[in-house]
A and B are shown apart, each in its own frame.
Chain A
Amino acid sequence: MEVGQMQRQWMGYMKSLFMEGFLDGQFLQLQQLQDENNPEFVVEVVSLFFEDSERILKDLSFAVDQQSVDFKKIDAHVHQFKGSSASIGAQRVKNACIAFRNFCEEQNIDACRSCLQQVKQEYIHVKNKLETLLRLEQQIVAAGGSIPMMEWN
């Protein structure tokens, strides 16, 4: 596949991620920060997000499984995850965290357990999407092309 075609494929994929609500404008900000001094910036930030997320989800699973549930602790973890997902523009994960926090406030453990599953699902979805996007970017760069700059209104 020639570079122009790859770039168009990348643009189409990015647009779909925004249209389907997986990513928001914060992700574009990350791309704008990337430059020749730090060409791997987006990959580094996304990798940090993956590491952070795995750790938080592990802590959350442990916390909701306790006999005596500490809703404050669960809320603290969800707050962290919300911040983490917002920082890279993972909009659906962030929104799932907002809903989760509401149920923590209500101290509704069944709803919290359901929310945890929802948050996990959304994280898995966005992780797969981001990995695909970054793979496309690697292919473009390997073929001698550059990543197009997107603006989102």
Chain B
Amino acid sequence: MASPQNFASKLTALVVDDHKIYQKVHQKMLNNFGVKSHVVENGKEAVDIHWHGKKFDLILMDMDMPIMNGIEATKELRAMGVCSTIVGVTSRSTEEEILKFMEAGLDDYQEKPLTIPKLTSILHKIINSNPI
């Protein structure tokens, strides 16, 4: 299959997930759009990488992770002043859990697994809200 055009090749993304399969799948999806991506295994690593000065246009944040979960990490990143688009990606689906995650500071929430059309829509939103 022909790869999608690299319309998002100027974007960078951080995949925050402790699950190796989702790390691989989400990173491949991003790479196919030309997005440069980095992977970390939990919320603490996501916070630390920002303390070290790294910035990303998009953060795909899992909810259930060891050491620091997605809710805590999202709260910390927003408290640090991180303005990236943070999309919660989780297999949890009760309304209460989704609300708690959104209230932590997400821009969007998607149920796992992320699909190519959903990611396309997310990337288009980022590009359209930051025209060059």
A84 within 8 A of B: yes
Interface secondary structure of A, over-half rule = helix
Establish whether residues B19 and A149, one from each chain, have CB atoms under 8 Å apart when the complex forms: no
Provide the residues of chain A in CB contact with B24, threshold 8 Å: 44-45, 48
> Does the CB pair B115–A29 fall under 8 Å?
yes
Question: Judging by beta carbons under 8 Å apart, are A87 and B113 in contact?
Answer: yes
Chain B residue numbers with a CB within 8 Å of A23 are none
B98 → chain A closest CB, angstroms: 16
Tell me which residues from 26 to 51 in chain A have a Cβ below 8 Å from any Cβ of chain B.
26, 29-35, 38, 41, 44-45, 48-49
* Number of residues on chain A facing chain B (CB within 8 A): 24
What 0/1 pattern do residues 73 to 91 of A give for CB contact below 8 A with B?
0000001101110111000
Q: Which residues of B contact A131 (CB under 8 A)?
A: none
Q: B9 to chain A: closest CB distance in Å?
A: 14
Answer yes or no: B21 CB below 8 A from chain A CBs.
yes
Q: State the CA gap A48–B20 with chains docked (Å).
A: 7
Q: B124 in the interface, Cβ–Cβ < 8 Å?
A: no
Which residues does chain A contribute within 8 Å of B29, judged by CB atoms? 33
